[in-house]
Structure 1
Amino acid sequence: MAVSLMHHSSATALIRENALTAPHAPAIIFVRDPSMEGGDETWSYGRLDHEARKIAGWLQRRYAPGTRVLLLYPEGPEFAAAFVGCLYASMIAVPSSLPGQYQHQRRRVDSIAEDASVAVVLTCHAASASVGDWAVSQPAQGLRWAVTDGPEFSDSDAEAWRLRGMDQDTLALLQYTSGSTSTPKGVMVSHGNLLHNSEILCRPFGLDRTTRFGSWIPQYHDMGLLAILLPPLLLGGTCVLMTPTTFLKRPHWWLKMVDKYDITWSAAPNFAYDLCARQVTEEQLAELDLSRWRFAANGSEPVQAATLTAFTKRFAPAGFRSDAMAPCYGMAEATVFISGTGQRELAVSHVDDTLLEHHTFRPVPLSSGGRDVVSCGSGQDYDIRIVDPKTREVLQEGRVGEIWLRGQSVAQGYWGRKDATRETFQAVTADGDGGYLRTGDLGTLHNGEVHVTGRLKELIILRGRNIYPQDIEHFLRARRPELVGLFGAAFVVPVQSPGGGVEEQLIVTHEVRGGISQDDLATLTTSMRADLIREYSIRPGAIALVRRGGVLRTTSGKIQRAAMRATFLEGGLETRWLDVNREVGGLIARA
């Protein structure tokens, strides 16, 4: 039976109804160690509701409806209580990563707090030292903050709480974008967006209140919050959570969690599946039973066919089914979920890569040279158009352009940015058809399904050829074992040509592990350069090898190619080895 959520007035009303109907049912299971008994903590719907009402009552005593509330929490049920508490109080939740110890982490939180004009910061005891340290610094100084699992929040607050009038148009959330290509912007997500998007996520996969959701994705991230935590709370089901740090230290614990807690829907970015396929040992594999894992959603970054194939093959002995792999497409501006289809075998198109460089999507036999592009399924609840980003002309099937969307899950716009909202959320095609969201993603519709080829702002244009940076990065990792499991960023910079003109030259930066000698680093860059010349007929202007962690990424793990380009041009890139030509070297020297 198809799930119907849209007949409810708000997400608040639905979560409250679930809590009253089944107060003893498990809402959230937080896993610290899936390998031991007692390595988890369970919150029932009754407890979640009580903690949320304590927070909501506290907020209602002090602030007006629509006040922005910054949520700074580690992963765990306390975040869920604060988020639901904001919904209960009819206030606007503003989730963010923690300030952390590094300047770029604090700058992101500073930017969000200032942009959203937050009135108060909520956190928990586990993060209070970090948040308190940040709160006394500029520009956060003077901003009120409170610890929601402390004595300031009491049962009397829960009793004082009152459900205020709200409807599907009421703003529920500011979901800040990852900032992979620009400054993070606050996407205005309404209660109607939350209900509709959860409903259209559940429909193609047959998810309902019996489905167990679970992952390690950060809860402040749109996928972690709106594709893992929120849907089961709206359905009356259960969500199982683990911290990202736990996963990164022990990747097999994610799979152990899926097995032990009977999770049927779990999602992660492409790199997580690659990490598991490479690092899970035979002994760890022998202890897993993944036969009940129905949907392994892959999203948030470009989906690589080779990664999905390797994961499926690696975990087939543990019962993982090839039709469980579920590539999806989504973004914060569309709440989170756009397209995906399950349960089926992986759908991959092998396309002519030369034609793809000229924005033509043409499948060819596997025996021909080409690139594998994974289908992200159908977006049945959206009007989807493929549009020339310059002329705004709607393109025919077989052409690659910018993906435009229209539908009930599309958010209301960017907080406080009227011009950006008009440009991004109110796009009009050349023939006058309006109301579209410009995704900034390049792709096509093939057999009615979404195929994403790259990001418009990151597209590399060299001598009339359109090359996707992730293709270059993936190609080099596939050729060079020293790069496997690490991150790279490819981009172009303008240099003065001998004739006096300006031309773009390719720059490749990539992480390498410690312990590699300078001679071996020199040999590696020579090999990488030869690989690029042979495969792409491109002679790079520079290859920069950096330490592990030296490639900048967003809080959700996306490569920040624009930031890497800026750092390179400013001469601020700390390299372990730099192979650079004279023109690009001169450019850096003038920085």
Structure 2
Amino acid sequence: MSLEVESAGATLVDLLRWRALNQPDQIGYTFLADGDNEEIHLTYTELDRRARAMSAMLRSSNVAGRTVLLVFPSSLEFIVAFFACLYSGAIVVAAQPPRPNRPMDRFVVIARDSGASVVMTLEPIRSRIASSVAAINGLENLRWIATDGGADQDAAVWTPPDINGESIALIQYTSGSTASPNGTVISHRNVLSNSRVIRDAFQHTASSIGVGWLPMTHDMGLIGNMLQPLYAGFRYFFMSPEHFLVRPVRWLHAISRYRATTSGGPNFAYDYCAEKIAPAKRAELDLSSWSLAFNGAEQVRPQTIDRFSAEFSRYGFRRDAFYPCYGLAESTLLVSGGTKRAPPIVESFDADALRSKYVVMKKGCTDSARVLVGCGRARAAHQVIIVDPETRQQCPADKVGEIWIAGASVAQGYWQHSETTGQVFEGYLDGTGQGPYLRSGDLGFLQDGELFVCGRLKEVIVLGGTNHFSVDIEMTVEQCHPAIRANCVAAVAVEVRGAERLVVIAEVDRRFAAAVASQQHEAKDPSLVSVANVKAAIHEAVSRNHDLSAHDLCLVKQSTISKTSSGKIQRHVCRERYLAGNLVLVESRAQG
């Protein structure tokens, strides 16, 4: 039946109404409330009825064509509120609830920038943050609606909104990995187009089963996890991100228990499982049903693929289940991906040549090689080209350039930011005038149609006239000493006496920090509790692999490195904190 979904209509409202009519009793979503066994279900009919009823709560607020801020944890309540907004003709803006006793910076940026006048949330969240938000300039007049606090409205009085495929469905705020978040304007047509791309690329059918934990405020969690099962007509089981982070084995247990075929996340999630799940906790896993393990949202690392495959192969996981892919919010989600059940494409390239923006194959994994994982080919309805960002001319096959994208999934621009929209969404090739293209800000190249991503354009560090990718330096640092935490290093450039210099900020394991604080020199290996030895290892590795000398090395405590909701390092935030002197360093007493 999923193959008939293209006839459902032009909007997400049409899609859900079509599912409710044709598959009324099918369970679409199951929320694991405790992260384990406590199941709460939602059928297509129940979702449709509750969305129509909740939209009646919005009628008096005149939200048609206007932004509504959804502040929910990942939950069935979020899904209902999301569709209630669409059923009212409103524009969804989703934001994570601010954590208790933590800054509300991202929430405030999104609330102000979106111009929302109505906030939908749960009563415990409203009672905790509404008064604080009301004290913030520009947010005094927000109307708060607690969806769990009122009587159920009559769904029968609902009337369809006046929307079409070109109407704005949602504003997806970017992760903010390189700058302040921008609101990406995504139409109903964009979502349905990308949903079809994902379904075809992942070979989803009505018999597929999904499991996930990604936040629904993130594009991968919203488009890839929440909306894709509705589009393809299969069942989706999910837990909160917090339940995964506290006990990552819950994710794999859910895949095993429900015989999931599709699940995935950013690169760090696979490293996190390999690092945190003890062998004794793996005994009951059966991952043999997991036929597609997508890996995206941040750079895919070959070491991660190798480690996770080796650690979990005895529990039924197959290396060829890995599905490296590339996407971004500005193209709704997915842009490129490989072939299901084909092993990931991993190639070695000359690192010095890449830094000079040339592509030269290299045999073996030597110190002078950089190993990259291919992110597949541009999927149907997309065009990907590689362009010199300075000349705006298309690059030959042996050159690294900026990844430019065209297609039906490319969003409409940035909300209320016409100048930035022109810079990012209106790329035209010099000479031919071909375009418009979305300028991704990512650097990469195509080899026989396979897309390889090198890094971010804004995160290339130029030192001594040579280009260096931040991610390369960070990987070197991670691997040079066991005290340094994986995916928790930021390499940034700062200006010192008129010249750019390298600063490395690295998180160290909690046990190492505690040992340094108490100066446990009686440890079996004294180097493991010596700040000087860790710094020496970093200096030596960076010098050997990159021919660089770091101006400063900052060892910081666990959970210090700023990250986005998908685990991307926020290097610009780390740099700002360094320059402001706001990093709390791990230092020995002798050094302090």
TM-score, normalised with respect to structure 1: 0.93
Q: Is contact 2:199-2:232 (8 Å) kept?
A: no
Tell me the distance in 2 between the aligned counterparts of 1:401 and 1:2. Answer: 38
Tell me the distance in 1 between the aligned counterparts of 2:220 and 2:128. Answer: 25
Query: What's the counterpart of residue 435 of structure 2?
Result: 434
Give the drift of 1:527: 1.8
What secondary structure does 2:476 align onto? helix
What secondary structure does 1:492 align onto? strand
* Mapped pair 1:530 → 2:540: yes
Give the drift of 1:15: 1.0
Tell me the distance in 2 between the aligned counterparts of 1:475 and 1:290. Answer: 31
Give the drift of 1:278: 1.8
- Matched to 1:542, the amino acid is D
Which runs of structure 2 are paired with 1:430-579 in the superposition (5 Å)?
Answer: 430-431=430-431, 432-485=433-486, 487-496=488-497, 502-512=498-508, 513=510, 514-517=513-516, 520-577=530-587
Query: What's the counterpart of residue 401 of structure 1?
Result: 401
Query: What's the counterpart of residue 362 of structure 1?
Result: 360
What secondary structure does 1:210 align onto? coil
Tell me the distance in 2 between the aligned counterparts of 1:571 and 1:143. Answer: 36
Which runs of structure 2 are paired with 1:117-516 in the superposition (5 Å)?
Answer: 117-139=115-137, 140-151=139-150, 153-156=151-154, 158-341=155-338, 342-366=340-364, 368=366, 369-380=368-379, 381-431=381-431, 432-485=433-486, 487-496=488-497, 502-512=498-508, 513=510, 514-516=513-515
Give the drift of 1:503: 1.5
Tell me the distance in 2 between the aligned counterparts of 1:196 and 1:523. Answer: 53
Q: Is contact 2:211-2:260 (8 Å) kept?
A: yes
Query: What's the counterpart of residue 88 of structure 2?
Result: 89
Query: What's the counterpart of residue 588 of structure 1?
Result: none
Tell me the distance in 1 between the aligned counterparts of 2:46 and 2:191. Answer: 22
- Matched to 1:66, the amino acid is G
What secondary structure does 1:479 align onto? coil
Q: Is contact 2:388-2:394 (8 Å) kept?
A: yes
Change (3 A) 1:2 1:128: closer
- In structure 1, stretches of 5+ residues that fail to align are 497-501, 579-591
Change (3 A) 1:71 1:367: closer
Q: Is contact 2:516-2:586 (8 Å) kept?
A: no
Provide Cα deviations, 1:90-117, integer angstroms capped at 9, x if missing partner.
110000111223554x121111111111
Percent identical among aligned pairs is 35
What secondary structure does 1:228 align onto? helix
Give the drift of 1:243: 0.9
RMSD: 1.7
Query: What's the counterpart of residue 113 of structure 1?
Result: 111
- Matched to 2:226, the amino acid is L
- Matched to 1:138, the amino acid is I
What secondary structure does 2:462 align onto? strand
Give the drift of 1:236: 2.5
Q: Is contact 1:60-1:161 (8 Å) kept?
A: no
Query: What's the counterpart of residue 589 of structure 1?
Result: none
Provide Cα deviations, 1:170-219, integer angstroms capped at 9, x if missing partner.
10000001111111111000000010000001112211222222211000
Provide Cα deviations, 1:483-518, integer angstroms capped at 9, x if missing partner.
13351110111111xxxxx22110000111231316
Provide Cα deviations, 1:378-409, integer angstroms capped at 9, x if missing partner.
11331111011111111011211100000000
Higher mean C-alpha displacement, 365-374 vs 175-184: 365-374
Give the drift of 1:118: 0.2
Tell me the distance in 2 between the aligned counterparts of 1:284 and 1:120. Answer: 45
Q: Is contact 1:94-1:173 (8 Å) kept?
A: yes
Tell me the distance in 2 between the aligned counterparts of 1:422 and 1:6. Answer: 32
Higher mean C-alpha displacement, 509-518 vs 264-273: 509-518
Change (3 A) 1:76 1:459: same
Q: Is contact 2:213-2:251 (8 Å) kept?
A: yes
Tell me the distance in 2 between the aligned counterparts of 1:102 and 1:440. Answer: 34
What secondary structure does 1:80 align onto? helix
Give the drift of 1:119: 1.6
Tell me the distance in 2 between the aligned counterparts of 1:551 and 1:99. Answer: 18
Tell me the distance in 2 between the aligned counterparts of 1:397 and 1:284. Answer: 47
Tell me the distance in 2 between the aligned counterparts of 1:400 and 1:419. Answer: 27
Provide Cα deviations, 1:519-547, integer angstroms capped at 9, x if missing partner.
61222112211221122111100000111
- Matched to 2:492, the amino acid is F
Aligned residues: 568
Q: Is contact 1:486-1:548 (8 Å) kept?
A: no
* Mapped pair 1:30 → 2:31: yes
Query: What's the counterpart of residue 99 of structure 1?
Result: 98
Change (3 A) 1:444 1:221: same
Provide Cα deviations, 1:213-266, integer angstroms capped at 9, x if missing partner.
221100000100000000111233222111111111111110001111222111
Tell me the distance in 2 between the aligned counterparts of 1:310 and 1:209. Answer: 32
* Mapped pair 1:47 → 2:46: yes
Q: Is contact 1:486-1:511 (8 Å) kept?
A: no
Q: Is contact 2:35-2:240 (8 Å) kept?
A: no
Q: Is contact 1:69-1:120 (8 Å) kept?
A: yes
Query: What's the counterpart of residue 586 of structure 1?
Result: none
- Matched to 1:178, the amino acid is S
What secondary structure does 2:479 align onto? helix
Tell me the distance in 1 between the aligned counterparts of 2:337 and 2:361. Answer: 21
Q: Is contact 2:480-2:537 (8 Å) kept?
A: no
- In structure 2, stretches of 5+ residues that fail to align are 518-528
Query: What's the counterpart of residue 520 of structure 2?
Result: none
What secondary structure does 2:335 align onto? strand
- Matched to 2:531, the amino acid is L
Provide Cα deviations, 1:290-343, integer angstroms capped at 9, x if missing partner.
000111101111110100111011111111111100111110000011111222
Higher mean C-alpha displacement, 523-532 vs 9-18: 523-532
Higher mean C-alpha displacement, 54-63 vs 256-265: 54-63
- Matched to 1:528, the amino acid is I
Tell me the distance in 1 between the aligned counterparts of 2:330 and 2:5. Answer: 20
Change (3 A) 1:421 1:35: closer
Higher mean C-alpha displacement, 279-288 vs 1-10: 1-10
- Matched to 1:314, the amino acid is E
Tell me the distance in 2 between the aligned counterparts of 1:3 and 1:126. Answer: 41
Give the drift of 1:33: 4.2
Tell me the distance in 2 between the aligned counterparts of 1:347 and 1:485. Answer: 23
Q: Is contact 1:97-1:220 (8 Å) kept?
A: yes
Change (3 A) 1:546 1:458: same
Tell me the distance in 2 between the aligned counterparts of 1:264 and 1:468. Answer: 35
What secondary structure does 2:378 align onto? coil
Change (3 A) 1:3 1:516: farther
Give the drift of 1:4: 6.3
Tell me the distance in 2 between the aligned counterparts of 1:134 and 1:330. Answer: 36
Tell me the distance in 1 between the aligned counterparts of 2:276 and 2:217. Answer: 27
